[in-house]
């Protein structure tokens, strides 16, 4: 098999036009001054299409922005933000009262958000699996307190940076019943394996964010295992100790290809609850404080 | 390694034509997308010509280029956060037989860390110690990855056939 592998892979050859494009781009980049993070990629057909699509989106946003601003999805001191998406719960206006109920220890600092810039609906930021399972009839909605009782320990951190607001407000678990699909390989649902009334999915997704600054903190939890969403995470984790607890920790910055800034992530198991914690544009100090507040 | 000034343009062509096929093969297997592979190869050569390092031997130069393109592909994959799968129909551009295309597709479906060691060891002919230096991973880890990679490739091939 390995001989066949060498023979097969050796057959791959770069197309002449690609090679010529690389040669001309290299010659160009050597004759022109290159800014530090300039991406000197060749213009492939798919990139032209992507650039055109971005242009269309920007133009649409410019014309749609005034209308979106009127809907006002953000918390303001006097707003009555409403949701236009059917899948969100009745309480989803991201009202200050709801924020207080959900995060009792963060009562004062979250009441002063005044941005009126439109943002994505909370459900749009959920992992695809979270959106899919809510379509099944076996999803049981829960509050954060009920979830904490189900998992047997707290799942929200005691410390969250002041400017981050709780974005995701739908939580719950899936218990198999007659509405559970028989088979869904994409999401690892196999009805024959579980019994009715057994919990087959209990990943939950708790998201805090400051969309204006692109800052995010996401905590995913699951019982007796790591959340599914961490599978396939290409980040390389190293082991560290926080409050005498072993944590898998990673730091990544996607420059020069992207502008997500510093991203930190951690995998940890506490009292049989798996946590997958991710942040974007938080400082390391902030991330470690969040992590510590979850562990303690 | 020491640096020297930028090379004449005909030397640029010579170097690119000498190594582009090798780098493209590796990039295509990791990224599973022709155009991304082209970008990775281009970026590798741009870095090479900008740094203009001087090597002890051709083998040293080749190893440097492979290490850089592997790291660029890794970063590109992290940025994309998904596996861009090359359709088997597109693989026919490189192959005439379905069997060859299926073998390559099976290779591309492997996790990145496994397919990189497979290509470097069995296709490019690097030894375990050499791969270990390129990827900054211990030799024992490389051996384990090779073992697991062979097993996974066999399983993937069986799935493709069935």
For each of chain A's 296 residues, which pLDDT tens digit applies? Answer: 777 788 888 888 888 888 988 888 888 877 765 454 444 444 455 667 777 778 888 887 777 776 666 554 433 333 333 333 333 333 333 333 333 333 333 333 333 333 333 333 334 455 555 665 666 667 788 888 888 889 988 888 999 999 999 887 778 888 777 776 665 554 555 555 566 777 777 888 888 988 888 888 989 898 888 877 666 555 567 888 888 888 988 888 766 666 667 888 898 988 889 999 989 889 999 999 999 999 88
- Threshold 0.80, pTM exceeds: no
For residue B107, list chain A residues with Cβ-Cβ distance below 8 A.
Answer: 5, 8-9
Asked if B24's CB is within 8 angstroms of A2's CB, the reply is no
Segments in A116-186 forming alpha helices (H): 128-133, 144-151
- B88: confidence class by pLDDT, cuts 50, 70, 90: low
In this structure, are residues B45 and A21 in contact, taking their beta carbons and an 8 Å threshold? no
Position B149 pLDDT exceeds 60 = yes
To the question of domain B10-94 being in CATH 1.10.1740, the answer is: yes
| Averaged pLDDT, B119-136 | 88
Asked if A30's CB is within 8 angstroms of B50's CB, the reply is yes
Q: What angle do CA A16, B63, B152 make, to 5 degrees?
A: 85
Q: Please tell me if residue B84 touches chain A, with a CB cutoff of 8 Å.
A: no
Region at A262 (left for phi over 0; alpha for psi -120 to 50; beta for the rest):
beta
**Tokens standing for residue B47:** 């870095």
- Interface probe, candidates A3, A13, A14, chain B, greatest B C-beta count within 10 A: A14
What ipTM goes with this model?
A: 0.75
For residue A12, list chain B residues with Cβ-Cβ distance below 8 A.
Answer: 21, 24-25, 28-29, 94, 104
Q: Please tell me if residue A32 touches chain B, with a CB cutoff of 8 Å.
A: no
The alpha carbon of A238 is separated from its chain's Cα centroid by a whole number of angstroms, namely 21
Position B104 pLDDT exceeds 70 = yes
Would you say how long chain A is, in residues?
296
Buried-state track A151-176, b at ≥16 Cβ within 10 A, e below 16: beebbbbebbbeebbbbbbbbbbbbb
Distance from CA of A51 to the nearest CA of B (A): 15
Please tell me which of the candidates B20, B39, B103 has its beta carbon nearest to residue A8. Answer: B103
Q: Please tell me if residue A37 touches chain B, with a CB cutoff of 8 Å.
A: no
- In A, minimum Cα distance to B94 occurs at A12
Q: Please tell me if residue A11 touches chain B, with a CB cutoff of 8 Å.
A: yes
Q: CATH 1.10.1740 in chain B, residues?
A: 10-94
Q: CATH 1.10.10.10 in chain B, residues?
A: 97-162
Q: Is the dihedral of CA A255, A257, A262, A265 positive or negative?
A: negative
Classify domain B97-162 by CATH architecture.
Orthogonal Bundle (1.10)
- B77: confidence class by pLDDT, cuts 50, 70, 90: confident
pLDDT attached to residue B40: 92
pLDDT attached to residue A111: 35
- Interface probe, candidates B79, B80, B114, chain A, greatest A C-beta count within 10 A: B79
Q: Please tell me if residue A8 touches chain B, with a CB cutoff of 8 Å.
A: yes
Which of A86-95, B6-15, B53-62, B124-133 shows the lowest per-residue confidence on average (mean pLDDT)?
Answer: A86-95
For residue B137, list chain A residues with Cβ-Cβ distance below 8 A.
Answer: none
Tens digit of each residue's pLDDT (9 = 90 or more) over B91-102: 666 766 777 777
Q: How far apart are CA A185 and CA A57, in angstroms?
A: 34
- Interface probe, candidates A5, A44, A232, chain B, greatest B C-beta count within 10 A: A5
In this structure, are residues A236 and A248 in contact, taking their beta carbons and an 8 Å threshold? no
Asked if B43's CB is within 8 angstroms of A40's CB, the reply is yes
Pairing of strands A238-242, A199-201: unpaired
């Amino acid at each position: 098999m390995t001989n066949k592998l060498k023979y097969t892979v050796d057959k791959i050859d770069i197309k002449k036009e690609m090679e010529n494009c690389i040669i001309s781009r290299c010659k160009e980049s050597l004759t022109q001054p290159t800014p530090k993070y300039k991406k000197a990629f060749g213009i492939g057909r798919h990139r032209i299409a992507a650039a055109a699509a971005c242009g269309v989106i920007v133009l649409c946003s410019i014309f749609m922005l005034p209308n979106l601003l009127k809907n006002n999805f953000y918390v303001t001191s006097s707003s009555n933000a409403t949701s236009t998406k059917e899948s969100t719960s009745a309480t989803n206006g991201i009202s200050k009262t709801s924020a207080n109920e959900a995060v009792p220890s963060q009562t004062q600092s979250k009441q002063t958000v005044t941005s009126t810039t439109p943002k994505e609906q909370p459900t749009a930021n959920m992992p695809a699996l979270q959106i899919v399972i809510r379509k099944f009839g076996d999803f049981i909605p829960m509050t954060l307190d009920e979830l904490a009782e189900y998992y047997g320990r707290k799942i929200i951190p005691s410390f969250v940076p002041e400017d981050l607001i709780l974005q995701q407000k739908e939580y719950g678990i899936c218990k198999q019943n007659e509405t559970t699909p028989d088979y869904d390989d994409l999401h690892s649902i196999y009805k024959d394996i579980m019994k009715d009334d057994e919990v087959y999915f209990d990943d939950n997704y708790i998201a805090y964010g400051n969309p204006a600054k692109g800052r995010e903190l996401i905590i995913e939890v699951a019982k007796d295992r790591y959340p599914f969403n961490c599978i396939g995470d290409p980040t390389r984790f190293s082991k560290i100790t926080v409050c005498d607890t072993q944590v898998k920790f990673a730091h990544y910055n996607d420059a020069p290809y992207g502008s997500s800034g510093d991203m930190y992530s951690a995998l940890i198991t506490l009292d049989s609850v798996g946590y997958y914690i991710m942040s974007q544009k938080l400082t390391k100090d902030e991330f470690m404080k969040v992590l510590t507040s979850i562990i303690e | 390694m020491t640096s020297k000034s930028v090379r004449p343009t005909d030397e640029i062509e010579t170097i690119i034509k000498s190594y582009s096929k090798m780098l493209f093969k590796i990039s295509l297997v990791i990224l599973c997308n022709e155009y991304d592979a082209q970008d990775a190869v281009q970026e590798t050569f741009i870095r090479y010509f900008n740094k203009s390092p001087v090597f002890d031997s051709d083998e040293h130069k080749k190893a440097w280029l492979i290490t850089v393109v592997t790291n660029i592909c890794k970063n590109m994959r992290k940025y994309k956060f998904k596996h861009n799968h090359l359709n088997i129909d597109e693989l026919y551009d490189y192959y005439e037989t379905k069997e060859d295309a299926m073998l390559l597709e099976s290779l591309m479906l492997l996790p990145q860390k496994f397919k990189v060691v497979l290509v470097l060891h069995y296709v490019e002919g690097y030894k375990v110690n050499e791969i270990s230096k390129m990827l900054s991973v211990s030799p024992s880890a490389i051996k384990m990855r090779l073992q697991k990679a062979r097993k996974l490739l066999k399983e993937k091939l069986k799935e493709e056939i069935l």
